[in-house]
Amino acid sequence: MFLFRRGTARLTPIQAHQRTTGGAVVLLDVREQAEWNTGHAPDAVHAPLSRLAAGTALPAAAEGRPLVVVCRSGHRSQQAAKLLTGRGIEAVDVKGGMNAWAAAGLPVVDVRGSSGRIT
């Protein structure tokens, strides 16, 4: 069963939050470590695009599950979603990235679990 139709438009942050709540679909953050450390969605899984592009496997928490991919502004997440779908992984990205996520009032935490910010 596909949770995303092929060719589906990018998800808004609200749609992404709704689809990833409950754990069936994973929110995959593809920003670099420093960006992740300062602020990310609380239930996101981290896998930098630079590592994915180099062929690194997905983190165990994301293996075999549909993915909603997010970065800071939406550019890298589009690249990552294309890369992942090319590997046969079900993936869509978040339009506007974490900037739009935060602007929509959705939660952002830092690496310590405190209130985070998007850099």
Could you give the strand order of the β-sheet that contains 26-29, starting from the edge strand earlier in sequence? 45-46, 26-29, 67-70, 91-93
- Which phi and psi (to 5°) does residue 82 adopt? -65, -45
Catalytic residue among 41, 69, 71, 118: 71
Distance CA 71, CA 86 (A): 19
Instruction: Give yes or no: 71 in active site.
Output: yes
Report the catalytic residues.
71
